């Protein structure tokens, strides 16, 4: 049996995001889906590194928001800005520091989760919009689906590649 073109499989998967319940952020699926392909495709190594690092970024982002909220109860004006700078610098550095550990070395995955959290929280997504912990759970859940969609796209869709003209093959041979 012939497999359908990958763009058909991907488009059918995209349609499923229209039916996400509880005002969950469907675009978080697309962020991690595209991130999976950008990181090398849905192979076991990529899936492992992206599924491990995206939640780290989302957790750190939630800590930053929580820290900012806490600081705003004690500081205002320029002292609040200084406190926010310290919070952001410290937590961002702490997030990236474990990159020396091979299983945690995929820093772009951290930023996929990081950005997805901010967009979920401040975009008013999730079953309880504006709730820091609900936004965290929604982000982690939806980011986790994207790599699975990448795997389905890669494994159920037929990938057709353009034929390289003879001159193109000659250029590749001497490159």
2 pLDDT band (50/70/90 cuts)?
A: confident
169 has pLDDT over 60: no
Residue pointed to by tokens 């986790």:
144
160 pLDDT band (50/70/90 cuts)?
A: low
**Mean model confidence pLDDT for the chain:** 91
Q: What is the pLDDT of residue 97?
A: 94
Mapped onto helix, strand or coil, the DSSP state of residue 158 is strand
32 vs 19: CA distance, rounded Å: 18
């Amino acid at each position: 049996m012939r497999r359908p073109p990958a763009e058909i499989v991907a488009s059918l998967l995209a349609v499923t995001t229209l039916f996400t319940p509880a005002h969950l952020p469907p675009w978080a699926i697309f962020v991690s889906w595209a991130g999976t392909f950008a990181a090398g495709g849905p192979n076991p190594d990529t899936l492992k590194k992206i599924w491990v690092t995206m939640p780290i970024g989302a957790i750190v982002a939630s800590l930053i928001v929580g820290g900012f909220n806490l600081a705003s109860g004690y500081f205002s004006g320029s002292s609040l800005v200084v406190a926010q700078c310290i919070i952001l610098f410290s937590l961002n550095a702490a997030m990236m520091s474990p990159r020396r550990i091979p299983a945690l070395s995929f820093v772009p995955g951290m930023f996929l989760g990081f950005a997805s959290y901010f967009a979920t929280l401040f975009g008013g997504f999730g079953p309880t919009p504006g709730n820091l912990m609900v936004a965290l759970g929604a982000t982690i859940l939806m980011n986790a689906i994207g790599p699975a969609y990448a795997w389905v796209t890669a494994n159920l869709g037929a990938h057709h590649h353009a034929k390289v003209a003879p001159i193109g093959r000659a250029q590749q041979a001497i490159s």
